[in-house]
């Protein structure tokens, strides 16, 4: 169980999910550091946290900021959908390796539940192969490395939301990936629910070294 006033580092802190995670952590009384490429602009929007200028692909830009952190939230994403990306396969991998060097044990990061067998036809036949194939291919490389090769000390939890949709949230569910527990869900995820799920995993210390689907039940 996470206590208040812990030290939190958020990659992708200016993004869709990252901003929500930052707000959740602030509301709970934690000391938050946000990673961004433009700290001056970020400070104007969110002056209540410490900002550092860093690149997830370059550990030298953020290693010092890892010292003393209790948890790292990974909310990074690709800048575009047309070009190939390595933000997951190299970015997250380098973050994990840097965490080990600096003695940080807890990572909670988001990728995508792009491979669920019951996802919708339109997603499986069009969205994934034609629009987001570069992003999902990179996620697959990262998750394969984590499952088959990584044997380090970082206690990671990888949350895997479905397609995002707008909504008020508040009715999310979580289940370990690659199990039957998420069968029959509504294969959509609301951004505020994903942020809440990330914080719940941190607060309750859930799903160590696990992959977790996060979505909404039908009805």
Q: Which tens digits make up the pLDDT trace of 10-54?
A: 999 999 999 999 999 999 999 999 999 999 999 999 999 999 999
Cβ-based neighbour number of residue 34 at 10 Å:
28
Q: What is the pLDDT of residue 118?
A: 65
Higher pLDDT pick, 129 / 175: 175
**The predicted structure's pLDDT at residue 124:** 62
CATH code (residue 207):
3.40.50.720
Which is more confident, 173 or 201?
A: 201
For residue 185, give the nearest of 198, 172, 169 by alpha carbon. Answer: 172
With bands split at pLDDT 50, 70 and 90, how would you rate the model's confidence at 171? confident
**Is 2 among the domain residues?**
no
Model confidence at 84, pLDDT cuts 50, 70, 90, reads confident
Is the pLDDT reported for residue 213 higher than 80? yes
Identify whether 1 is part of a domain: no
How many residues are present in the chain?
219
pLDDT digits (tens, 9 = 90+) for 4-18: 789 999 999 999 999
**What would the DSSP string read from start to end of 24-67?**
HHHHTT-EEEEEES-HHHHHHH-TTSEEEE-BTTBGGGTHHHHT
Global pTM reads 0.91
Scanning 51-190, the segments in alpha helix (DSSP H) are: 63-66, 93-102, 121-122, 133-148
According to DSSP, residue 152 is labeled S
In a domain, 142, yes or no: yes
Q: Coil, strand or helix: which one is 14?
A: coil
Query: What are the Cα distances from residue 207, in Å, to 81, 126, 127?
Result: 30, 32, 29
CA–CA separation, 36 vs 38, rounded Å?
5
- Domain residues for the domain of 186 are 7-217
Residue keyed to tokens 């002056």? 47
Q: How many domains does the chain have?
A: 1
């Amino acid at each position: 169980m996470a206590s208040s006033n812990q030290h939190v580092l958020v990659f992708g802190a200016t993004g869709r999910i990252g901003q929500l995670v930052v707000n959740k952590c602030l509301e709970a009384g934690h000391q938050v550091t946000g990673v961004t490429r433009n700290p001056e602009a970020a400070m104007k929007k969110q002056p209540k946290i410490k900002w550092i200028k860093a690149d997830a692909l370059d550990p030298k830009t953020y290693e010092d900021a890892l010292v003393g952190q209790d948890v790292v939230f990974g909310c990074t994403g690709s800048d575009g959908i047309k070009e190939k990306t390595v933000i997951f396969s190299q970015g997250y991998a380098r973050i994990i390796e840097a965490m080990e060097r600096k003695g940080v044990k807890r990572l909670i990061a988001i990728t995508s539940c792009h491979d669920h067998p019951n996802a919708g036809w339109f997603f499986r036949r069009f969205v994934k192969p034609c629009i987001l194939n570069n992003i999902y291919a990179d996620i697959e490389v990262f998750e394969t490395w984590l499952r088959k090769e990584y044997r380090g000390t970082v206690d990671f939890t990888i949350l895997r939301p479905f397609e995002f949709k707008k909504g008020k949230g508040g009715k999310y569910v979580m289940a370990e990936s690659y199990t039957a527990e998420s069968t029959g869900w509504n294969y959509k995820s609301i951004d505020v629910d994903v942020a809440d799920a990330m914080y719940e995993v941190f607060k309750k210390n859930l799903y160590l070294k696990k992959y977790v689907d996060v979505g909404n039940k039908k009805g």
